[in-house]
Structure 1
Amino acid sequence: MERAFSDLDRDAGLEIAERSHQARQRVQGSSYFYGELDLKAQLEVLARAGARKGGVFVDLGSGLGKMVLAAALPGVFSECRGVEILPELHESAVKARGALLADLAGRGLPPPSEVSLRCGDMLREESVADADVVFVFATCFPPEVMSSLETKLSEEMRRGARLVLVSKQLAGCCADFVPFGDNNGYLSVGQTHSKWNLDCFFYVRA
């Protein structure tokens, strides 16, 4: 992972996202920023979410693709998908995927799960109907985006599927989702290049 993202740390991702958003706004609002978990936190989240052999992982708003690739590396999921609305972030993620695959092959290591990265609107262009684990880094999502996201998840996610939300909790109207795991579905996780942790909430579709 480190080799694939050697020149794509959090600051690089933030710079790409800000530059892209300033050039042409694709979402409402003026504060559209990039965030990511550090590798230790990514692994903690994936372990708690409970990867199922042959399952499907989906990251809505996948940025540089780090969470998607972290989910794919162990080869447990059959497919790991990410959708990102900013083309520049998406293009960087695709390059990183290529670098990771080449690095694994060059060292004779087994390939990861199938990885699919696409550029598009997570609310309209990526179904989560087949997902076993859905991950959303929602730190900077405004209320209107969260409302649309909650509607999408309620309509599409199947029973038993798990949802991981960073920095946001589902509104009380989402009765179809219940917290799971220790601390009533709560985990404090680290973010890259920051001394501050982020709140992470785990739900299962009832």
Structure 2
Amino acid sequence: DLSLGHNARHIHTQKLSMARLLAAVSLLCFPCTSSAFSASTRIPDKIQAAIDRCYPPASYSDRRSVAYDAALSQANKFTAEGIPLGGDSMVYGEFDLNFFAKLLKCADPQPGDTFVDVGSGAGRLVLTSALLYPFKFKNCHGVELSSPLHDAAIAARYEFENIDDLPSIAPCQYTLSDCMEGEGLEAVQTADIAFSYAVTWANDETHAKLVQTLAKNLPNGARVISIDLPLKNEIAKNEGAKFELIAKEIGSNEETGDDTVGLVYKLMRNG
């Protein structure tokens, strides 16, 4: 989705080659991994049409401008946890939905689960998850720091209601907050499946804080989908937890023209 981060593009490019190598080595090690998407993980036409209605492909550049303006307006501003709200480097991308569907399937949604997108931007993946699993997800929740992107997510959800032949959808919720404190942290604590796009996190330090937050606050058995950056167990161990890798997938990133690695974990608490 829409992702902001100081110097994030450089970090993303620098780390991707190693992530691609690790994922390639493990292709035969995880049953969820394959070189092509199965038909069951492709977005159904009705859902794709609904998403395109709420996020028109022709308006991609407009959404990019919203993200860019948000980054500039928040330059040199930080949260209490030291997370940059924006900066002079901005990464924008609308995540491949078929790849997202594949990763979400690997996370094995169960009836009554809550999905949380940490750094949800304009909310495209929140809406997609709610449409893919309307009768399993109890709630699909986006947490975003940027007010313009948060507003765009709410506007897209309202636009969904204007569709004549509405597909079934799980409840959606959007919170304007830092995920490490306040209402954003409360959302993380409810997550059975959490999604994190690496380029949202500006550097190693802030990503480490995210990993610590997830390890400390997610319920036992929660699944985490991390894009391009692994969740380090040396951090999780300090919180009495471990991230068990259950799947790796390789997909495309149209923004960079390179591959993207999806890592799916299950959080296991000691004792």
CA deviation map 1:137-192 (0-9, x unaligned): 11252112111101111110111110000111112413411101xxxx21112234
Kindly provide the amino acid, as one letter, of the partner of residue 262 in structure 2: C
Contact kept? 1:72, 1:114, Cα under 8 Å: yes
Contact kept? 1:54, 1:78, Cα under 8 Å: yes
2:55: which partner in 1?
5
Listed as ranges, the matches of 1:26-45 within 5 Å are 26-27=77-78, 28=84, 30-45=88-103
Following superposition, the deviation at residue 9 of structure 1 comes to 5.5
1:78: which partner in 2?
138
Contact kept? 2:211, 2:231, Cα under 8 Å: yes
Describe the SS at the equivalent of 1:145. Answer: helix
1:165: which partner in 2?
226
CA distance 1:169–1:57, change in 2 (3 Å): same
1:122: which partner in 2?
179
Following superposition, the deviation at residue 193 of structure 1 comes to 5.2
Contact kept? 2:180, 2:210, Cα under 8 Å: yes
Of 100, 106, 109, 1:51 maps to 109
| Separation in structure 2 between the aligned mates of residue 10 and residue 45 of structure 1, nearest angstrom | 23
| Separation in structure 1 between the aligned mates of residue 73 and residue 58 of structure 2, nearest angstrom | 20
Listed as ranges, the matches of 1:170-181 within 5 Å are 170-173=231-234, 174-175=236-237, 176-180=242-246
Kindly provide the amino acid, as one letter, of the partner of residue 60 in structure 1: V
Unmatched 5+ stretches in structure 2: 1-50, 79-83
After TM superposition, the score normalised by the length of structure 2 is 0.68
Q: Which has the higher contact order (CA 8 A, sep 6+)?
A: 2
Contact kept? 1:32, 1:140, Cα under 8 Å: no
1:199: which partner in 2?
261
Kindly provide the amino acid, as one letter, of the partner of residue 63 in structure 1: G
CA deviation map 1:72-128 (0-9, x unaligned): 01302010000111111111111111111331xx21543x11100121112223232
Moved more, 134-143 or 64-73: 134-143
Kindly provide the amino acid, as one letter, of the partner of residue 133 in structure 1: I
What is the total number of aligned residue pairs between the two structures? 199
CA distance 1:10–1:150, change in 2 (3 Å): farther
Contact kept? 1:65, 1:93, Cα under 8 Å: yes
| Separation in structure 1 between the aligned mates of residue 167 and residue 64 of structure 2, nearest angstrom | 31
Listed as ranges, the matches of 1:14-29 within 5 Å are 14-25=64-75, 26-27=77-78, 28=84
After TM superposition, the score normalised by the length of structure 1 is 0.87
Kindly provide the amino acid, as one letter, of the partner of residue 218 in structure 2: M
Larger Rg: 2
| Separation in structure 2 between the aligned mates of residue 109 and residue 15 of structure 1, nearest angstrom | 29
**CA RMSD for the aligned pairs?**
2.0
CA distance 1:40–1:99, change in 2 (3 Å): same
